[in-house]
Amino acid sequence: MTTASVLPPPPSTPPVAPAPPSAADVRPVRIGSPARVAGAAAQLAALGIVGPGVFAGLIGLLSSGFGLLAALLIGVVVLVAFVYALFALAWFERARLEGLYAFGLAPLRPRRSPKPGFGGVLHTIWLQAIDPLQWRAVASFAISTVLGLATITMLGGLAWGLALSVSPLFGWPNRRFLGIVPLEGAAAPVVGILAVIVGAAAVIGLALLQGVIARAIFVPSREAQLVEQARTSDSRRAGAVRAAEVERTRIERDLHDGVQPRLVSIGMTLGLAQTKIDDDPEAAKALVAEAHASTKSAITELRQLARGIHASVLEDRGLDAALSALASRSHIPVTLDVRLPRRCGRAAEAAVYFAIAETLTNAAKHSRATACRVHVRVRDDGSLWARVEDDGLGGARIVPGGGLDGIVNRVTAAGGTARIDSPQGGPTTVEVNVPCAS
């Protein structure tokens, strides 16, 4: 582990909402198993008691927010609290259903805008307010609350039927059906047993219905999974093709502008030495020595070019050592904070390494930066995350065929995401997130 600075660990939450699970990730879930039915019935009963109070509080918060808008904008604070109260409710609902059914749902994360400043704060609140995952979970909680009220009613009927079925044993008088029709003799236990059966069946049916509705809301259909998988595959393939084109163009440019002229110069120098070797041996020796020095420089350039294509230290010693070597060659000071408890996949490490390398190169060439900070982590969800931040002038833009375009395409080809934030005046921040198993 390389830790060149004492910095707080970055948040483990990604800045974007979790992607829908692929067809291979979604596992069939038995919502009708006895344990899950019992758990669902218990949770529905609890929601039937708590849910109405929760929604009453939310409605009160919303109405208070609008009512207080004219009072020194206090209503704005209340409305923001309402938005994040909805988020808390949605987080709870997803966690509740994931704990009950193990659908494979990722925890709900708060939305975050890439825009800086106060405008970014407002955009963040807006993104959170319209988050479709949040509203799906709120709708699920509302449906579960209604089912919970029905479950409490059915449990009350079941308890009444149980009491009625054993009433002859205790000699209870005034046994009536629905408080109206008197029940005499064997009629009371028969009606009681029927009420128990109907109540139990209704409770089980409501528990099963919650599982069906939850699966319909949160788990995409097979067709949607396949469409998403095809879209992701197309995006990764396009990114790989584009990354290969950008890399080929870079190699051609480096060969044409650097190594090729030097090799031509070496050939001309050796040709001059050949013509002078008989008449002026000393001049020929000087020309050969010059060609020898140029050859060494050409070999160094070829090694640097090969390192840009394939970093051998990355395979031999891992991403930590490769980034240390990269930082030591950087033209500007680099602070590394790399915390990797294990090795990730080859494609993931290569994508993150070359993204960091290209970002440092751009910072040295264009941003007039005096320092860079690099943070690398393995997140809880098993993805490899990196952030590079410089103190330069900012204003970086993705140009087709440019370095940032190559970063995005390489990361996309590895199945990851890249976010570039570079306002005028700086700083420039590049974040990449790649699945370790890519």
pLDDT: is 425 or 191 the higher one? Answer: 425
CA 58 centroid distance within chain: 29
What residues does 376 pair with on adjacent strands?
338, 386
For the chain, the structural domain boundaries read 32-219, 311-438
Query: Using CA atoms, how far apart are residues 13 and 380, in angstroms rounded to an integer?
Result: 9
Architecture, CATH, for domain 311-438: 2-Layer Sandwich (3.30)
Q: Which of 18-32, 266-280, 424-438 shows the lowest mean pLDDT across its residues?
A: 18-32
In the structure, what pLDDT confidence band is assigned to residue 236 with cuts at 50, 70 and 90? low
State the average pLDDT over residues 191-211. 88
Backbone angle region of 182, left / alpha / beta, with phi > 0 → left and psi within -120 to 50 → alpha: beta
Query: Using CA atoms, how far apart are residues 232 and 238, in angstroms rounded to an integer?
Result: 10
Query: Using CA atoms, how far apart are residues 338 and 320, in angstroms rounded to an integer?
Result: 6
In the structure, what pLDDT confidence band is assigned to residue 138 with cuts at 50, 70 and 90? very high
Do residues 65 and 74 touch, judged by C-beta distance below 8 A? no
Could you tell me whether strands 372-378 and 428-435 are parallel, antiparallel, or unpaired per DSSP bridges? unpaired
Residue 140 has pLDDT above 60, yes or no: yes
pLDDT exceeding 70 applies to what percent of the chain? 72
Residue 8 has pLDDT above 50, yes or no: no
Residue 118 has pLDDT above 60, yes or no: yes
Residue entry with tokens 């110069």: 265
DSSP code string of 182-204 = E--TTHHHHHHHHHHHHHHHHHH
Dump pLDDT digits (tens) for 59-88.
999 988 888 877 767 888 889 999 999 999
* Phi and psi torsions of 224, nearest 5°: -65, -35
* CB atoms closer than 10 angstroms to residue 166: 12
Query: Using CA atoms, how far apart are residues 208 and 428, in angstroms rounded to an integer?
Result: 51
How much is the pTM? 0.55
Residue 305 has pLDDT above 60, yes or no: no
Residues in the chain: 438
Query: Using CA atoms, how far apart are residues 220 and 113, in angstroms rounded to an integer?
Result: 26
Ordered alpha helix ranges (H), 178-280: 187-218, 222-254, 260-276
pLDDT for position 44 = 93
The token pair that represents 231 in the structure block: 């879209």
Residue 225 has pLDDT above 70, yes or no: no
Query: Using CA atoms, how far apart are residues 347 and 24, in angstroms rounded to an integer?
Result: 20
pLDDT: is 166 or 280 the higher one? Answer: 280
Query: Using CA atoms, how far apart are residues 241 and 236, in angstroms rounded to an integer?
Result: 9
The token pair that represents 355 in the structure block: 């993204």
State the average pLDDT over residues 233-255. 61
Dump pLDDT digits (tens) for 17-49.
344 444 444 455 677 788 899 999 999 999 999
In the structure, what pLDDT confidence band is assigned to residue 262 with cuts at 50, 70 and 90? low
The token pair that represents 158 in the structure block: 């079941």
Do residues 122 and 22 touch, judged by C-beta distance below 8 A? no
